[in-house]
Amino acid sequence: MNVGFAELFIIIFIVAIVYIPQIFFCLTLQNALKQVNPQMVTLSPGKVWLLLIPIFSLGWNFYVVIQVRDSLKREYQERKLPEQDDFGFTLGMTMSGLAIASVLPIVGVLAGITYLVFWILYWVKITYHKNNLIAGSLSLNAPE
């Protein structure tokens, strides 16, 4: 099979459309984990990049969601910050399940669209907690 320039361009374009948002998502997760004290973190921030591996990421999603929740919870407890929610755990687990369902025939398209919604909601939730930890760090370092 001979792939021409137009076909190669389309393939690269589709890969970019899929991976560019995923890269920013991984950056958010990594930066959230970097806000956690190294003694409190349960997942090395660099390991979130394993989410970029196709197929493997279907299972790794679950692990990352659990470890991010545990790290954030431990950090909130350490800083004595009020815990307002489950640190995106429910959103993340739903997102992870929908990612698996999206590869199934028949239900895959609907699951894929729903996955996208939950992925965005989870991303927003983690961004909120990352920003909350940054704000908490700033108030802890503020001069009196």
pTM of the model: 0.88
Q: Which domain holds residue 134?
A: 5-140
Q: For the chain, what is the domain count? A: 1
How high is the pLDDT of residue 9? 83
- Which H or E run contains 110? helix 108-140
Chain-wide mean pLDDT for the chain?
Answer: 91
Phi/psi-derived region of residue 116, left when phi > 0, alpha when psi is between -120 and 50, beta in every other case: alpha
pLDDT band, very low/low/confident/very high, at 15 (cuts 50, 70, 90): confident
Average pLDDT of 58-64? 97
Is the pLDDT at 32 greater than 70? The verdict is yes
Is the pLDDT at 136 greater than 90? The verdict is no
